[in-house]
Structure 1
Amino acid sequence: MNLAEAYSWVNIRFLLDGLLITLEVAVLSIIFSFIIGAVLGLIRYMNIPFLSKFIGIVVDVVRNLPLLLIIFFTYFALPQIGIRFSIFWSAVSAMTIFESAMLSEIIRGGLNAVPNGQMEAGRSTGFTYMQTIWYIIIPQALRSMMPPIVSQFVSLVKDTSLATIITLPELTHNARIIYGQHTSYVIPMFIMMGFLYWVVCYALSKLSKRLEASYR
Structure 2
Amino acid sequence: MNEETRLLFDEPGPRARRRIRIATGLSLAVIASLLGLMIRQFAVHGQLSANQWSMYGQWPIIRFLLDGIGKTLLVTVVAAAIAFPLAAPVALVRLSRARVPRALARGYVELFRAVPLLLLLYVFLFALPRAGVTFPVFWQLVLPIVLSNVPVVAEIFRAGVLAEPRGQTEAAYSLGMTYWQAMRLVVVPQAVRKLLPALVSQLVRLLKDSSLGYVVSYVELLHQTQVLGEYYHTVLSSYLIGATCYVLINAGLSRVATALDRRRPS
Please indicate, yes or no, whether the TM-score normalized by the shorter chain is above 0.5: yes
Q: Deviations over 1:157-192 (max 9, x none)?
A: 011111212221010001101111233x22322232
CA distance in 2, matches of 1:167, 1:101: 26
Q: Pick from 246, 249, 254 the counterpart of residue 205 of structure 1.
A: 254
Match of 1:118 among 155, 159, 168: 168
Q: Once the 2 structures are TM-superposed, how far is the Cα of residue 104 of structure 1 from its aligned partner?
A: 1.1
1:17-166 aligned at under 5 Å gives the runs 17-166=67-216
Say what the alpha-carbon RMSD is for the aligned residues.
1.8
For 2:73, give the aligned amino acid. L
CA shift for structure 1 position 46: 1.9
Q: Is 1:37–1:107's contact at 8 Å kept on the other side of the alignment?
A: yes
| Paired position in structure 1 for 2:245 | 196
Query: Which structure has more RCO (C-alpha within 8 Å, separation ≥ 6)?
Result: 1
With over 3 angstroms needed to count, the CA separation of the structure-2 counterparts of 1:31 and 1:192, relative to structure 1, is: same
Residue 76 (structure 1) shift: 1.5
Q: Which amino acid aligns with 2:197?
A: P
- Give me the identity figure in percent: 32
The structure with the largest alpha-carbon Rg is 2
1:169-188 matches, cutoff 5 A: 169-183=219-233, 185-188=234-237
Shift of 1:144: 4.3
Q: Which moved more, 1:73-82 or 1:131-140?
A: 131-140
Gaps spanning 5+ residues in structure 2: where?
A: 1-48
1:168 paired residue number: 218
Distance 1:114 1:134, change over 3 A: same
Contact 2:169–2:182 (CA under 8 A) maintained in structure 1: yes
Q: Point out where structure 1 has 5 or more consecutive residues left out of the alignment.
A: none
TM-score normalised to structure 2 length: 0.75
Is the CA contact 1:45–1:108 (under 8 Å) kept in the aligned structure 2?
yes
Partner of 2:256, secondary structure, is helix
Mapped partners of 2:60, 2:82: distance in 1? 33
Q: CA deviation at 1:214?
A: 4.2
Tell me the distance in 2 between the aligned counterparts of 1:87 and 1:127: 44
Does structure 2 retain, via aligned residues, the 8 Å contact 1:21–1:169? yes
Residues 226 and 239 in structure 2, CA contact (< 8 A), matched pair in contact too: no
